[in-house]
Amino acid sequence: MTKTEEARLLREARKAEKLKKEQERMALMFSYERENAQALYIAGIDEVGRGPLAGPVVACAVILPKDCGLLYLNDSKKLSEKKREELYDLILAEAVSVGLGSRDASRIDEINILNATYEAMREAIGKLDPQPELCLNDAVTIPGVNIRQLPIIKGDAKSASIAAASIVAKVTRDRLMTKLDKEYPEYGFAANKGYGTAVHIAALKQYGPCPLHRRSFIGNFV
């Protein structure tokens, strides 16, 4: 056997081992779904955008099929932008149903970020068709939802359904903030997505707030 063939076989063996480990990780990520398999439809619920100074909070609800074979699902913060974008397309293609909800800065200021997040989550769940029999939530119990809920601490890293929701929510919000950057280029929303980076805060102090800013979040800066 030549050295080239040996190197090829070694690469293939490493690739196969890496794939095996990912399949084993994903088997664990579907453990909550398996443990509640009596529910015909299980939705994972998550949100993104509770912390930024500007832009909406976005929630997503995802029902994955029972035989879902997706790999690499994880907390969206642990994935690269490129990987999130790839998985976003795969999730939308594979999912039984996906629902999105959002609340803008004015609503966040009106009722506070937690209640605005709950409203966005209820909207996302309401858009699912079919409706789920169980909601797996990232850490919270959502008031006003007449569906059985299971809150899971750090659920976006433990449940495939919640991870899928976190990815779709993240990509959806990031794309929106990139689009809004064209309307308000001085704040750098395409780069900071509305979070309080040094550049964003400096722009906020220089130009003052725009309609996307959460007045209840920016009192220390303007």
Domains of the chain, by residue range, sit at 3-207
- Distance CA(41)–CA(135), nearest Å, equals 9
Q: Dihedral of the CA atoms 159, 161, 162, 163 (nearest 10)?
A: 80
- Distance CA(105)–CA(206), nearest Å, equals 20
Helix pair angle (3-29, 160-180), 10° resolution:
100
Residue 16 predicted with pLDDT over 80 = yes
Instruction: Give the pTM.
Output: 0.94
Q: What was the pLDDT predicted at 6? A: 77
**Checking DSSP bridges between strand 148-152 and strand 134-138, what pairing results, if any?**
parallel
- Distance CA(73)–CA(152), nearest Å, equals 16
How many whole angstroms from its chain centre is CA 91?
A: 12
Task: Tokens 């063939």: give the residue.
Answer: 5
Of the pLDDT bands very low, low, confident and very high (cuts 50, 70, 90), residue 1 is confident
Based on its alpha-carbon atoms, the radius of gyration of the chain, rounded to whole angstroms, reads: 20
Residue 54 predicted with pLDDT over 80 = yes
Report the CATH fold assignment for 3-207: Nucleotidyltransferase; domain 5 (3.30.420)
Q: Retrieve residue 133's tokens.
A: 């029999």
Q: What was the pLDDT predicted at 4? A: 82
Q: What was the pLDDT predicted at 171? A: 98
List, in sequence order, every residue forming a beta bridge with 59; answer none if it has no partner: 47, 101
- Alpha-carbon torsion 131, 135, 136, 137, what sign? positive
Of the pLDDT bands very low, low, confident and very high (cuts 50, 70, 90), residue 106 is very high
- Write the DSSP string, the chain: --HHHHHHHHHHHHHHHHHHHHHHHHHHHTHHHHHTTTSS-EEEEEEE-SS-SBS-EEEEEEE--TT--------GGGS-HHHHHHHHHHHHHH-SEEEEEEE-HHHHHHH-HHHHHHHHHHHHHHT-SSPPSEEEEES---TT--SEEEEETTGGGT-HHHHHHHHHHHHHHHHHHHHHTTTSGGG-HHHHTT---HHHHHHHHHH---TTB-TTT-TTT-
pLDDT tens across 17-44, in order? 999 999 999 999 999 999 999 999 999 9
